[in-house]
Copies of this chain bind each other. A is one copy, B any other.
Amino acid sequence: MHALIRDLYPICRSITGDGFRDSLRRLAEVVPIALAEVPTGTRVLDWTVPKEWNIRDAWIADATSRRVVDFRASNLHVVSYSVPVRARMSLASLRSKLHTLPNQPDLIPYRTAYYAEDWGFCLAQNVLDQLPEGDYEVCIDSTLADGSLTYGECVLPGSTTDEILISVHSCHPSLANDNLSGMAVAALLARAVSREPRRHTFRFLFIPGTIGSITWLATHEADVEDTRHGLVLSCLGDPGPSTYKRSRRGNSLVDRAASHVLKQAGQHSLVDFVPYGYDERQYCSPGFDLPVGCLTRTPNGRFPEYHTSADNLEFVTVEALEDSLAKTLAIIEILEHDAIYLNLNPKGEPQLGRRGLYRNTGGTSPAGFEMALLWVLNFSDGRHSLLDIAERAAMPFATIRGAANALRDADLLRSRDESEVDRSTSDTRPSTTLKSSRSPAARSTEASR
């Protein structure tokens, strides 16, 4: 995962342009990603697809022609979407175009000027402080012209059309945590999901922030009706504890699943939806109101390296990235497998011991798996799902799901939405399903009971 990030790091991405395309092509080596192009000027909801921006070089040179600020050293030096400029000007005149971080004087900030034609440079305050007054040569060798906005899509069909949406913004230049960590985790997640059978259809979006989700929403309003759950991924490689920001709905299944996974895993943070952050802002706008949350470690704006040159390859660790991937997979396990079961022996506890599910010597308290069996039996009353039970028992979903499977194998449990006939089908024995076996006559008999 770190190698992937290392490859992507030097590329100068922005919300359009070749840097974005090149990055997606690198991700497409991990999992197939289709690239879509939307022309400049296309109306998308309240917005318009902007001109395409590409950059080759940029610098500020002193009287001796020495580059005192050099795009080749860091692509953060240029304000993203800067229009081309070639001029000689005094430092005094130049100052209004220079962005620094006075409180973090060694770091280069990350700044953008997407929607107002402007230009500028970002540099360390310490570097600026050492520049003598006088004239400087300024060059931004960029183009801002009609072209297209690019986004990548990887759709993995499941046994149903119900969709899980995973969205990552991929438009930042050399910033490792925000957003390379999200891009890398999403690509490896897609590969992992692609290798397993699945109930949901998965859609992974690699998009430029804000304008990308707006463009996708504008062009996929019909698809959105199938979106059952969604996650925006970003900032998944820093050493901070995991943070989940709930969807606007606040208590959708993805919210509960993420909350459960994070609680079980230890130190974490859960925050309510706020209408600022990443693309969940657009998915959760009131006209869509999709159940899409946002998983990060330290959230945007809360770590000092945020949007600075300190968000570099050293800042993201393999441990954090792998932990983030594991948690995302655990959330998806719940989305895929949460279900309501029925206890087939609801009066009193069934005698688990004679089925080999309970120890024979009494007098001590039950261990984890035995407790999970008791929890599943007691609450599988047709109203509590496995996630409900896992939350109530404060046990991992996987343990509760394992107990449910064992009870099902012992004929003590069945899925609420499953008939005996269905059940045998899922056991791969030949059988007719509920739908075909129930004649209208059979149904009318039932209704007259």
Encoded as 1 (CB less than 8 Å from any B CB) or 0, chain A from 72 to 96 comes to 0000000100000000000000000
What distance in Å separates the Cβ of A375 from its nearest Cβ neighbour in chain B?
A: 6
A161 at the interface (CB under 8 A from B): no
Known: A362-B111, A377-B275. A46 touches B345 (CB 8 A): yes
Encoded as 1 (CB less than 8 Å from any B CB) or 0, chain A from 368 to 381 comes to 00010011011111
| Contacting pair A347 B111 (CB below 8 A) | no
| Contacting pair A362 B285 (CB below 8 A) | no
A68 at the interface (CB under 8 A from B): no
Complex interface residues of chain A between 130 and 170 (CB less than 8 A to chain B) = none
Q: This chain: how many copies in the complex? A: 3
Known: A346-B287, A348-B47. A275 touches B378 (CB 8 A): yes
| Contacting pair B47 A351 (CB below 8 A) | yes
Among A274, A282, A362, A393, find the residue whose CB has the most chain B CB atoms closer than 10 A: A362
| Contacting pair B111 A286 (CB below 8 A) | no
Alpha-carbon gap, A112 to B360, bound state (A): 8
Chain B residue nearest in CB terms to A345:
B46
| Contacting pair A111 B217 (CB below 8 A) | no
Q: Which residues of B contact A288 (CB under 8 A)?
A: 347-348
Encoded as 1 (CB less than 8 Å from any B CB) or 0, chain A from 276 to 297 comes to 1000011011111100000000
| Contacting pair A287 B348 (CB below 8 A) | yes
| Contacting pair B381 A286 (CB below 8 A) | yes
Q: Which residues of B contact A364 (CB under 8 A)?
A: 111, 307
Q: Which residues of B contact A118 (CB under 8 A)?
A: 360-361
A441 at the interface (CB under 8 A from B): no
| Contacting pair A378 B285 (CB below 8 A) | yes
Q: Which residues of B contact A347 (CB under 8 A)?
A: 45, 217, 285, 287-288
Alpha-carbon gap, A242 to B381, bound state (A): 31
SS of A interface (majority): loop
Q: Which residues of B contact A361 (CB under 8 A)?
A: 79, 99, 111-113, 116, 118, 120
| Contacting pair A115 B354 (CB below 8 A) | yes
| Contacting pair A351 B112 (CB below 8 A) | no
User: Which listed residue, B45, B115, B371, B393, touches A360 by the CB 8 Å rule?
Assistant: B115
Chain B residue nearest in CB terms to A286:
B381
| Contacting pair A350 B276 (CB below 8 A) | no
Known: A214-B348, A366-B276. A286 touches B378 (CB 8 A): yes
| Contacting pair B287 A349 (CB below 8 A) | no
| Contacting pair A351 B115 (CB below 8 A) | yes
A363 at the interface (CB under 8 A from B): yes
Q: Which residues of B contact A343 (CB under 8 A)?
A: 286-287
Q: Which residues of B contact A381 (CB under 8 A)?
A: 286, 289
A304 at the interface (CB under 8 A from B): no
Complex interface residues of chain A between 297 and 320 (CB less than 8 A to chain B) = 300-301, 307
What distance in Å separates the Cβ of A309 from its nearest Cβ neighbour in chain B?
A: 13
- Pick 12 A–B contacts, CB within 8 A, sort by A: A46-B348, A99-B361, A112-B363, A116-B353, A118-B361, A120-B361, A272-B392, A274-B375, A275-B349, A282-B348, A285-B378, A286-B346
If A112-B362, A115-B360, A285-B377 are given as contacts, then 5 extra A-B residue pairs at C-beta distance below 8 Å, sorted by A number, are A46-B349, A46-B350, A111-B363, A286-B343, A287-B348
Which residues of A are interface residues toward B (Cβ below 8 A)? 45-47, 79, 99, 109-116, 118, 120, 210, 213-214, 217-218, 248, 272, 274-276, 281-282, 284-289, 300-301, 307, 343, 345-351, 353-354, 360-366, 371, 374-375, 377-381, 392-393
Nearest 4 Cβ contacts at the A-B interface: A287-B346, A287-B347, A275-B378, A112-B362
